[in-house]
């Protein structure tokens, strides 16, 4: 693993790099320039490079070695709050494809979401091909039909002997949702993808306990950023709960699982009112 390199000519011994290094790779020497501990474990987070006011640190061979100079973001808390309080899932899309350059831009931002030990192990699968979307739709419809049989059993009276009331209640919701979706599908509707022109899937490493987090982090970054471009998104729970079905239709890289799935397209509607949510359940230890 590469370690940061310190250009001692440029270093002014401010100590900021050592302060942000959580792994004892950069060691502070009182008021002197810090030293790099070449035997320490470094997960190449790049905080030292990003904080150095003198550009005295670099990390050789760092993938995508782009340290773009940044200004503190001009987003006010009230703007951010308003943005989050008005963001809604989108299920009505304009009959307009999402440009490839836009998709690339979205993914360029999504890949910035954090990952454990900065491993950045996730991949993206973009589907805009109508035949492939249709194939996925058919496969997922079949899957929902077979899962519905089990859901009905779990929601039924005999299952009350071994399932909690809460689980059964959840199963009844699921049953209703599946039945409505299938009814619409049988009439030629698209309750699965809502005729979205683009689907994006997010994978994580199957063996990694944080694989799902890595996929979903990127998914949420993409969803929020997409809103600023006039695009709408909606998470696809049907797809997310059927990674094996998806793996059969999509060329998922070996060792990876699809954990995140969403529809993407230009919004047909904007909402006049904000989001309602139940009050938060909070536990404080003060």
Ligand X SMILES: Cc1cc2nc3c(=O)[nH]c(=O)nc-3n(C[C@H](O)[C@H](O)[C@H](O)COP(=O)(O)O)c2cc1C
Residues at the interface with ligand X (CB under 6 A): 88-89, 91, 234-238, 275
> Whole-angstrom Cα distance, residue 73 to residue 37?
33
For tokens 């990876």, the residue is 256
* Choice between 34 and 260, CB closer to ligand X: 260
Specify the residue, 4 or 232, whose C-beta has the smaller distance to ligand X: 232
Q: Which is nearer to ligand X, 54 or 86 (CB)?
A: 86
* Both structure tokens of 81: 């709050």
Which lies closer to ligand X via its Cβ, residue 256 or residue 259?
Answer: 259
From the number of C-beta atoms within 10 Å of its C-beta (0-12, 13-18, 19+), residue 205 rates as: buried
Minimal distance in Å, beta carbon 134 to ligand X? 17
* Min separation Cβ 263 and ligand X, Å: 8
User: Minimal distance in Å, beta carbon 219 to ligand X?
Assistant: 10
Measured at the alpha carbon of residue 247, what is the angle toward residues 231 and 266, in degrees to the nearest 5? 10
Give the residue with the Cβ less far from ligand X, 8 or 241. 241
Distance between CA atoms of 266 and 19, rounded to whole angstroms?
44
Check the CA dihedral 269-258-105-115 and report its sign: positive
**Smallest gap from residue 6 Cβ to ligand X (A):** 44
DSSP codes, 153-222: HHHSGGGGGTS-HHHHHHHHHHHHHHHHHHHHHHTT--TTTTT-SEEEEEEEETT-TTHHHHHHHHHHHH
Min dist. Cβ of residue 262 to ligand X (A): 9
User: Based on CB atoms, which residue is closest to ligand X, 148 or 235?
Assistant: 235
Contact 5, 36 (CB under 8 A): yes
CB of 275 to ligand X, least distance (A): 5
How many beta carbons lie within 10 A of that of residue 136, not counting itself? 25
CB nearer to ligand X: give 115 or 191: 191
Q: In the complex, what is the shortest distance from the CB of residue 16 to ligand X, in angstroms, rounded to a whole number?
A: 38
Q: Encoding tokens for residue 5?
A: 């390199």
Closest alpha carbon to 46 in 92, 112, 101, 105: 112
**Cβ-proximal residue to ligand X, closest one:** 237
* Cα distance between residue 36 and residue 25, in whole Å: 6
């Amino acid at each position: 693993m590469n370690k940061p390199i310190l250009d001692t000519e440029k270093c002014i011994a401010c100590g900021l790099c050592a302060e942000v290094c959580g792994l004892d790779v950069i060691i502070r020497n009182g008021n002197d320039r810090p030293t790099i501990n070449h035997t320490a474990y470094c997960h190449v987070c790049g905080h030292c490079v990003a904080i150095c006011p003198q550009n005295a640190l670099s990390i050789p061979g760092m993938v995508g070695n782009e340290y773009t100079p940044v200004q503190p973001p001009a987003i006010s808390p009230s703007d951010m709050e308003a943005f989050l309080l008005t963001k809604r899932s989108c299920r009505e899309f304009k009959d307009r494809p999402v440009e490839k350059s836009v998709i690339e831009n979205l993914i360029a931002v999504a890949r910035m979401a954090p990952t454990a030990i900065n491993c950045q192990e996730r991949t993206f699968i973009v589907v805009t091909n109508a035949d492939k979307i249709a194939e996925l739709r058919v496969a997922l419809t079949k899957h929902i039909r077979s899962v519905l049989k089990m859901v009905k059993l779990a929601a039924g009276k005999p299952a009350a002997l071994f399932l909690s009331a809460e689980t059964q209640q959840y199963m009844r919701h699921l049953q209703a949702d599946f039945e409505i979706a299938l009814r619409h599908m049988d009439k030629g509707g698209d309750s699965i993808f809502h005729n979205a022109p683009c689907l994006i899937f997010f994978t994580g490493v199957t063996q990694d306990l944080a694989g799902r987090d890595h996929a979903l982090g990127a998914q949420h970054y993409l969803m929020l950023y997409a809103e600023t471009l006039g695009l709408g998104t909606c998470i696809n729970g049907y797809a997310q709960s059927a990674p094996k079905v998806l793996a059969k239709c999509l060329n998922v890289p070996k060792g990876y699982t699809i954990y995140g799935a969403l529809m993407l397209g230009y919004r047909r509607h904007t909402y006049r009112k904000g989001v309602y949510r139940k009050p938060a359940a909070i536990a404080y230890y003060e």
